[in-house]
Chain A
Amino acid sequence: MTTSTTSSVIPTLPGRFYTDPEIFALEQRNIFETMWFCAVRSSDLPKPGAFKTVQVGTESMLISRARDGSVRAFFNVCRHRGATLCTEESGEVKRAFQCAYHAWTYDLDGKLIAAPNLTKMADLDRVRYGLVKAHVREWLGYVWVCLADEPPPFERDVQGAVAERLGALDLIDNYDVAGLSVGRRIVYDVKANWKLIVENFMECYHCATIHPELTEVLPEFADGFAAQYFVGHGAEFGERIEGFTVDGSAGLSRIPGVTEDQDRRYYAITIKPQVFINLVPDHVILHRMFPLAVDRTVVECDWLYLPDVVAAGKDLDKSVELFHRVNEQDFDACERCQPAMSSRTYREGGVLVPSEHHIGAFHEWVQDRIG
Chain B
Amino acid sequence: MIPVCPLASLPRGEALRLDVVDPPIAVFHTDEGDILAIDDTCTHQDASLADGWLEGCEIECPLHASRFNLRTGEVDAPPAKRPVRVHQVVVENDVIHVVPSDAPPNLPPGVTLKGQA
A interface with B by C-beta (< 8 Å): 95-96, 98, 103, 105, 113-120
15 contacts across the A-B interface (CB closer than 8 A): A98-B63, A103-B64, A114-B51, A114-B52, A116-B46, A117-B46, A117-B110, A118-B48, A118-B51, A119-B17, A119-B40, A119-B41, A119-B47, A119-B48, A120-B46
Q: Establish whether residues A114 and B62, one from each chain, have CB atoms under 8 Å apart when the complex forms.
A: yes
| A96 to B47 alpha-carbon distance, docked (Å) | 15
Q: Establish whether residues B51 and A116, one from each chain, have CB atoms under 8 Å apart when the complex forms.
A: no
Closest Cβ–Cβ distance, residue B58 to chain A (whole Å): 14
B interface with A by C-beta (< 8 Å): 17, 19, 24, 40-41, 45-48, 51-53, 62-64, 110
Known: A113-B51, A119-B24. A103 touches B63 (CB 8 A): yes
Q: Establish whether residues B46 and A114, one from each chain, have CB atoms under 8 Å apart when the complex forms.
A: no
| A114 to B17 alpha-carbon distance, docked (Å) | 13
Q: Establish whether residues B64 and A114, one from each chain, have CB atoms under 8 Å apart when the complex forms.
A: no
Question: Interface residues of B: mostly helix, strand, loop or mixed?
Answer: loop
Q: Establish whether residues A113 and B62, one from each chain, have CB atoms under 8 Å apart when the complex forms.
A: yes
Q: Establish whether residues B45 and A116, one from each chain, have CB atoms under 8 Å apart when the complex forms.
A: yes
Closest residue of B by beta carbon distance from A105? B62
Q: Establish whether residues B53 and A118, one from each chain, have CB atoms under 8 Å apart when the complex forms.
A: no
Closest residue of B by beta carbon distance from A120? B46
Question: What 10 A-B pairs have minimum CB-CB distances, sorted nearest first?
Answer: A114-B62, A114-B51, A103-B63, A117-B46, A119-B48, A116-B45, A105-B62, A113-B51, A114-B63, A116-B46
Closest Cβ–Cβ distance, residue A110 to chain B (whole Å): 15
Q: Kindly list chain A residues whose C-beta atoms are within 8 Å of the C-beta of B46.
A: 116-117, 119-120
Question: Interface residues of A: mostly helix, strand, loop or mixed?
Answer: mixed
Q: Kindly list chain A residues whose C-beta atoms are within 8 Å of the C-beta of B24.
A: 119
Q: Kindly list chain A residues whose C-beta atoms are within 8 Å of the C-beta of B45.
A: 116
Q: Kindly list chain B residues whose C-beta atoms are within 8 Å of the C-beta of A115.
A: 47, 63
| A118 to B42 alpha-carbon distance, docked (Å) | 12
| A114 to B62 alpha-carbon distance, docked (Å) | 6
**Which residue of A96, A103, A119 has the most chain B CB atoms within 10 A of its CB atom?**
A119
Q: Kindly list chain A residues whose C-beta atoms are within 8 Å of the C-beta of B52.
A: 114
- Find B53's partner among A95, A116, A117 (CB 8 Å cutoff): A95
Q: Kindly list chain A residues whose C-beta atoms are within 8 Å of the C-beta of B53.
A: 95
| A87 to B51 alpha-carbon distance, docked (Å) | 25
Q: Kindly list chain B residues whose C-beta atoms are within 8 Å of the C-beta of A98.
A: 63
| A117 to B45 alpha-carbon distance, docked (Å) | 8
- Find A105's partner among B17, B19, B40, B63 (CB 8 Å cutoff): B63
| A119 to B22 alpha-carbon distance, docked (Å) | 13
Q: Kindly list chain B residues whose C-beta atoms are within 8 Å of the C-beta of A114.
A: 47-48, 51-52, 62-63
Closest Cβ–Cβ distance, residue B11 to chain A (whole Å): 16
Q: Kindly list chain B residues whose C-beta atoms are within 8 Å of the C-beta of A96.
A: 62
Having A114-B51, A114-B63, A116-B45, one finds 12 other A-B pairs with CB under 8 Å, namely A95-B53, A98-B63, A103-B63, A105-B63, A115-B47, A115-B63, A116-B46, A117-B110, A119-B17, A119-B24, A119-B40, A119-B47
| A119 to B110 alpha-carbon distance, docked (Å) | 13
Closest Cβ–Cβ distance, residue A79 to chain B (whole Å): 16
| A117 to B48 alpha-carbon distance, docked (Å) | 8
**Which residue of B17, B19, B47 has the most chain A CB atoms within 10 A of its CB atom?**
B47
| A98 to B63 alpha-carbon distance, docked (Å) | 8
| A98 to B45 alpha-carbon distance, docked (Å) | 16
Q: Kindly list chain A residues whose C-beta atoms are within 8 Å of the C-beta of B47.
A: 114-116, 118-119
Closest Cβ–Cβ distance, residue A346 to chain B (whole Å): 56
Closest Cβ–Cβ distance, residue B47 to chain A (whole Å): 6
Closest Cβ–Cβ distance, residue B54 to chain A (whole Å): 11
| A243 to B112 alpha-carbon distance, docked (Å) | 75
Q: Kindly list chain A residues whose C-beta atoms are within 8 Å of the C-beta of B62.
A: 96, 105, 113-114
Q: Kindly list chain B residues whose C-beta atoms are within 8 Å of the C-beta of A103.
A: 63-64
Closest Cβ–Cβ distance, residue B48 to chain A (whole Å): 5
Closest Cβ–Cβ distance, residue A103 to chain B (whole Å): 5
| A314 to B62 alpha-carbon distance, docked (Å) | 45
Q: Kindly list chain B residues whose C-beta atoms are within 8 Å of the C-beta of A113.
A: 51, 62
| A114 to B45 alpha-carbon distance, docked (Å) | 12
| A113 to B40 alpha-carbon distance, docked (Å) | 15
